[in-house]
Each structure stands twice: as structure tokens, then as C-alpha cells.
Chains A and B, each alone.
Chain A
Amino acid sequence: MMTLQQQNISDNNFESCIKCTICTVYCPVTAVNPDYPGPKQAGPDGERYRLKKPVFYDEALKYCLNCKRCEVACPNNVKIGDIIQSARIKYAKGKPSLRDTMLANTDFMGNMATRMAPLVNFTLGLRPVKYLLDRTMKIDDRRTFPRYASQRFESWFGRHAAASQDSYPHTVSYFHGCYVNYNYPQLGKDLVKVLNALGVGVHLLDGEKCCGVAKIANRCVDEATRDAHTNMKAIREATARGDETVATSSTCCFTLRDEYPHVLRVDNHDVRDHIMLATRLIYRLIDEGKAKVAFRPDYRKRVAYHVPCHMEKLGWTIYSTSLLKMIPGLEFIPLDSHCCGIAGTYGFKKEYYDYSQAIGEPLFRQIRESGCDFVACDCETCKWQIEMSTGVPVENPVSVLAAALDIAKTRELNGVAAIPAVE
């Protein structure tokens, strides 16, 4: 039986808020946009009023980035970010615009765009096209678009990798996400290369859909929930065959683990512990002595590490940074944990573009001054933002490992040299 105290806690525990305002201190939006009421007022304070009458809903909640830094800061463990996102979904007026729907449907758009990638990339780079998108759809023309790949990761995997994967002593399932599939298959290829060298085969999930983070942010909740159920079914199947599910994107990983139950109300408690970042799995294999690594003697790089907001919320920064620090020729430069400002599709929108850049400016300055060869970071949209705003390239830690490892030697050390390596 629940105690009296337990019965007085709501799902998002807004009543645990003591109005200390500490969340607002650490909110990246509050720092640049006085029109945003701040997480305390937008979250637990506003919730009290909204529960009384929905008319108290404040449209300024749209400014929230959903970075969850308020939740990391909260001394009372109030799920402030979840309260705000849930309120947007429940109370915001009007249907999502055509632009928001398009931005949200990363998988549909990616599917279309990869079919004629060279044309799409060329067209999206043209000034008149960007001007038109800016004026008609309010997609800011100062934003550089991510490029689409001609060959999807899934196609590459089916053709070049799938056949050999069950020859490895262990296997995992890979949640590649839209970015790897449509924009940057190289990261997926790097993961297969690294995991194979460590003696781990890679499966894809059956019928993987977008994690839904962009759909949640753009209030396309029905689609997000449908996709979430599809993904959970695939992850349950993977778990049943003994596979951990790994992701290379901190945001995909965070969404599958936490946004599903907290915002979409899709239960995942039975498999949540089996969903993790690839760097956590790789760190664990090495730390527990289950895999050995050999690094290239000629690898020399100065690397600055950026902590994406959802990585901060996952609390797993240490896995990625520990792996980077293992690389003998890598000089590690920590960056302050600071939001880059893009927040997925947020920074593409004309009305938010300036806020987005203002939020990221202290980070951009630190990166420019760091003198690093490149930035390492576990999030693809941070990558777009940092590359566009600083000109410094950004690599996922998995790709850094792929470049720094002596793959042939590592395969030998792990006893998988006889299995044909994926090219």
C-alpha cells in the first residue's frame, strides 16, 4: 500500500519544487531571452495554474530547448523539463505548422532526400533557395543544412556488413538514428569497424524508426508515440536474443531511455537498462578486460571535448572522455559544459536562430581559443552547430577511436583476425 506521502506525489513531482530558482540560474535560454519565463515559472510554478485552468498556459514555453539542464541542477529532483514539454504537448494551441512537421519528420525527409542526394545538397546550398525557404517557411537562411548521403547506412550495412556479423563471439544491436542513416553513414561504418575489432558483431534493429526527439519538440506526438512503440518492440526482440542496444547519438539514447516513459508515456522499464551509448559499452568491454586495444603509434591530435546537454543529463560523459584519454597520441582539452544552442530543429527556425547563436557563443569562443584540431562530441546536432559557428570540425568519439586504433592489430588481440573485416 502506498504511504500518505507517496500518494501526494504527482507523475512529474512538481509539488517537490521549493521555488529556489536554481534551475533558472542554469537555464541557457533565460540567459539570452527575457521573453522566456524561465524553467521554474514555465515548469512547476505554471503547472499549478494550468491544472486549475488551461487558459493559464503561456505560449512562451515554446522557447524551451528541452536541454534538461534545469533537471540536472534541481536540488529536489523535480522533472522540470518534462513538465514543460508535457505542458506544450497538452496545452499549446494550433497544429504544428508545415515547416515544423517537415523538420520533425527527419526519417521521411531523409528517405526522400537520400534518393537524390547530390541534387538536394546542391539545391539546399543555393542562396536563392535558402532565401525562399527563409521567406516562405521561416527556416533561417543563415543556417547551413546538413548534407544528405547518396547511400543510406542501412543499405550499406545490408550489402557490406550484415553477412559476417554473426561470426563474432558477441553481438549488439545498433540504433543508428536518422543522422547516421541519411546524413553521415560514416559514423555507423566506424562503429561497425571498432566493435568488430573488439570482437563484437553488430545487428540492426528490425524496422527502426526515428527516436522521435524532433517530433516531440515539434508536438507531433501521435507519430512519435507510434514510432516509440515500434522501436520498443524491436529493442525488446534484440534484448530477448541477448543483444544490448547501443546508440552513437546521446540524444537518441536519452530519448529512448527517458523521454519515452516521461513525456510519451511509453513504458520501457523492462529494457531501459539494456539501452546505452556505444561508448559505455566499449568502455565496459575494455575496463572489464573483455576486449583489448592497440593504438596507432602515429596518431597525434589535439582534441577538445564538448558535453552535449543530453549527455550531461545521461551522466555518461565520463565514458566518452575516458576512451578519448586512453589514446596515447591524443591531447585532451575539456570544454566547459555549456549548451551549443541548436537543440535539434530549434536552431533552424527563423524566430529562434539569434537566440540559438547567442546561447552557443561562449562555447564557440572557447573552441576557437582552444587551438584544437577538432572537437569530439556525441551529438550530431551539436556537430552541425559547432562546425557552422566555429569552422572547427567535429567528430563522434567512436569515429575518433576508429581513426586512432590499429584495427588489424586490435582484431588480432581479440582473436577475430580470421573473420573477414568489413571494408
Chain B
Amino acid sequence: MKYDTIIIGGGLSGLVSGICCQKSGRKTAIISAGQSALHFWSGSFELLCRKGDREVIDRPLSLVDSLSGQHPYRKLGAERTAALLSRVAPLLAEAGINVAGSLERNHYRLTPLGFLKPAWLTLDDYFMLSDPEELKGKRYAIVNILSYLDFYPRFQAYGLGEHGARTVTADVNIPELDILRKSTTEMRATNISRFLTDAAVDRLAKAVNDASKGTDAVIMPAVLGMFSDGPVRRLRSQVERPVYFVATTPASVPGVRCQLALRDYFIRLGGTFMPGDTVVKGERERHRLRRVFTTNFGDMPLEADSFVISTGSFFGHGLVATLESIHEPALGLDLYAPEGREKWYDKDFYAAQPYMGYGVTTDAGFRPAIKGETIENLYATGALLAGFNALKEGSGAGITLATALHAADKITSAL
């Protein structure tokens, strides 16, 4: 089986690279081992939200030059990073995902625990602010679904109250959801969303209207619209006040929607998506990767002219830690990950954990190496890369998207 480009990894990074390669007319396949981290998505993408202990709001990209030399943004440079990331919102819109935000200035999102945190892009039906000052004197109704346990209105009320907003909290119910309560452990966002369609949304809208009288806007958990945004639009059109959503505990309803929208767009463009398969080995000819072997395809490898690897970090199994060492299991790529388990972590749980910075090392063009030899037709992208701490910096999505677009550019311009 021969392709122009094979992408190993079917999450945000792999899908974005795949869409760009396929759009440029290259025959592209994505090999995806299980569903991706998008299912844990907050509804916001971060670009660069913290520098040391300082929160970053204005001109986040102006800090790129102060990052370490191995940092992916530094490798791309501020200008190139900005050019790449300016393409993200239009590309997501093509797939049917509408986001708001700017590269010039971070906005604030509302976290599930009620804090305001910086973000770069946020789903346009989510709660976002350019300045916490806007909250002063505003009245919000924070409306939860009765007995839904993964959203905490009182945390939201406390957090918004700290910034001068006035809030009321309410639980609403509609009879369609009673059936789910047979097992309270299954009152999960994704399960609830299955029942919130058609007439159930109309009934929910009525309950939300009753609960939010006298307020300026409604804040709700993101439990609507898993397979399309139809229920979200239906609810918003019937509630008398603006409705804004806040992320819930996983699995994330908008995350599922985003994953499926990107996957479907890739397939509509003519791409081949191979779910539930794992790359176990690569074969090289000199400095080029020629073919990859997978669990399902057995002794019939998949060949391509160029490859992208975007298998994620430890959580996505792009990196695997044993008791003794850390390795990249698909191709055996060179890593920055020192031997000796005691070096991997800091006993202070809240410190910047060293292992968060581990990953695949690359040349300036994001091409990784095997035993010191750079692979000329392979690009590594996203969380698999070494040199940054996504959690501490608030930079994961920006790096994922910038490197994915960069890899696709390199591949498509090499035609």
C-alpha cells in the first residue's frame, strides 16, 4: 500500500497535517491508535500563557526569543510561528469548528474550577473575556443539569464573584434525563448529550429561561452537541439571554465534536483514516524512512515518500517509560530523556516536572534522528517533541498546531 504521505497519529496535530497534505493533492493516510487527547479538550487552545510565574496576556509571541534554543517556538522563530498560527482559525472553520481569539493578545477563559486563565483561541460559544474588569456588576445565572456531578456551579459563582460579578446558581431537569439517573456514575457529559436533542432541547431552554430570570447571561456546562452543533444553536436561539459554555470533566463533548469534524473533513478531502492501528516498526533506506509496519497490516507494510509522526507524549503513548528508561516505541527515534529514573521528577508535585520536557529531539527543520542519523523525509510534531513544558507554559496547542502546519508546508513544498 503506497501513499504520498503517511501520518502516524490521529489527534489534533496529525489531523491538521493530514488535512493540509491532502488539500495540496497528496495521497495521505493517517494511522491512529485509539482516540486522541482531543477527547479531553477544554474548548480552548493555548499559545503561550505563562512565562515563569508570570501570566502572559499581551503579545505572547514577543517572548519567543527568550525561550531556550530547543523550544519548538524558538526553532520556528516568532515570525514564522505567527504566520503558521494565523492559519489555524480559518482551517478549523473549514472543518466546521468556530473559534475566537487573536495572536496579539490572549483572552481569558473560565476553567471548570471557576478560575480565569489566559487562552489564545476558544470555541465561540464558550465563556470568554478580554478583561476580568468586564465582570463588575454583571449578573450571571450558572445553570447545571440536576445531579450532573462533573460541573460545580458554586466554584464558578465563587470565581466570578471574586471579580465583582453577581451570580445565581440553579439545577434544572427535564424528564428525558431521568432514564440516565438509574446509574449516577453514568451521568457524564457525553451520555447526557445523547439525550439533549430535538424537543428535549426546547424543554431545557424553557427550564433555563425560568432559572435565569433577571440575569444578563447564562453559564452552563458543555454537555450539548456531541455529533453536531445543532443542539447548541437550538438552545441558544430559544434562551432569552446569551448562553456561554464552560468545560466539564472529560470526556469532553466539544472535544468529540472537534475530533470528528476534523476527521470527517480529512476523509471528505479524500484522505484515508485508519483507526485502531499501531505502528510497530519502520524500515529505512539510507537516510529516508521508506515504510512502516503496523499491528493490523502485519507483513504488508505501508509505504510513503514522506512521513509525519505526531503520536503525543506519555499520555498518548508517543513516549513510553519503563522502570529503567524512556523510549519512542513506533520508530525508535532519538530522545531527550536522561537515564536514571530519579532525574525524571521533582518531589514537589507542583514544580515544573522534568519529564514534561522530555521528547523527540530534531534538527532545526523538525526532522528527528535514529542513532544520530537525521531522517530526511520524516517530521515530528506536537506533544512528542522535546524542549517545552506544555503544562507550565500553557503552550501545548500552539506548539502542536504550529509544528503540524510547518511539517505539512515542508512536505507539500518539496513536491
- Report A's interface with B, CB cutoff 8 A: 3-5, 20-22, 24-26, 30-31, 34-35, 37-38, 41, 45, 71-77, 273, 280, 284, 287, 312-316, 318, 322, 334, 337
Q: Which residues of A contact B278 (CB under 8 A)?
A: 77
Q: Which residues of B contact A45 (CB under 8 A)?
A: 185
Q: Least Cβ distance of A336 to chain B in Å?
A: 8
Residue pair B191, A38 in contact (C-beta under 8 Å): yes
Tell me the complex Cα distance, A74–B299, Å.
24
Q: Which residues of A contact B317 (CB under 8 A)?
A: 75-76
Asked if B194 is at the interface of the complex by the 8 Å CB criterion, the answer is: yes
Asked if B322 is at the interface of the complex by the 8 Å CB criterion, the answer is: yes
Q: Least Cβ distance of A275 to chain B in Å?
A: 10
Q: Which residues of A contact B323 (CB under 8 A)?
A: 3-5
Number of interface residues of B (CB under 8 A): 40
Interface CB pairs A-B, < 8 A, 17: A3-B323, A20-B251, A22-B35, A24-B186, A24-B188, A24-B191, A25-B256, A26-B35, A30-B191, A45-B185, A73-B34, A73-B35, A73-B275, A75-B33, A76-B34, A315-B275, A318-B274
A-B contact count (CB 8 A): 90
Secondary structure at the B interface, as helix, strand, loop or mixed, is: loop
Q: Least Cβ distance of A328 to chain B in Å?
A: 18
Comparing B13-21, B41-49, B175-183, B198-206, the segment that makes contact with chain A is B175-183
Q: Least Cβ distance of B94 to chain A in Å?
A: 19
Residue pair A20, B276 in contact (C-beta under 8 Å): no
Asked if B296 is at the interface of the complex by the 8 Å CB criterion, the answer is: yes
Residue of A22, A30, A38 most packed against chain B (CB within 10 A): A22
Residue pair B251, A273 in contact (C-beta under 8 Å): no
Q: Which residues of B contact A3 (CB under 8 A)?
A: 322-323
Asked if B340 is at the interface of the complex by the 8 Å CB criterion, the answer is: no
Given contacts A38-B186, A38-B191, contact A72 B39 (CB under 8 A): no
Q: Which residues of B contact A26 (CB under 8 A)?
A: 35
Q: Least Cβ distance of B271 to chain A in Å?
A: 11
Asked if B300 is at the interface of the complex by the 8 Å CB criterion, the answer is: yes
Residue pair A21, B250 in contact (C-beta under 8 Å): yes
Asked if B91 is at the interface of the complex by the 8 Å CB criterion, the answer is: no
- Report B's interface with A, CB cutoff 8 A: 1, 33-37, 39-40, 179-180, 182-183, 185-186, 188, 190-191, 194, 226, 250-251, 256, 267, 272, 274-278, 294-300, 316-317, 322-323
Residue pair B180, A22 in contact (C-beta under 8 Å): no
Tell me the complex Cα distance, A34–B195, Å.
10
Given contacts A20-B39, A25-B256, A312-B276, contact A75 B194 (CB under 8 A): no
Given contacts A77-B34, A312-B276, contact A25 B251 (CB under 8 A): yes
Task: Indicate which residue in B190, B276, B295 contacts A24 across the interface (CB closer than 8 Å).
Answer: B190
With both beta carbons as reference points, the residue of chain B lying nearest to A73 in the complex is identified as B35
Tell me the complex Cα distance, A246–B347, Å.
55
Tell me the complex Cα distance, A41–B182, Å.
13
Task: Indicate which residue in A37, A76, A318, A337 contacts B1 across the interface (CB closer than 8 Å).
Answer: A318
Residue pair B186, A37 in contact (C-beta under 8 Å): yes
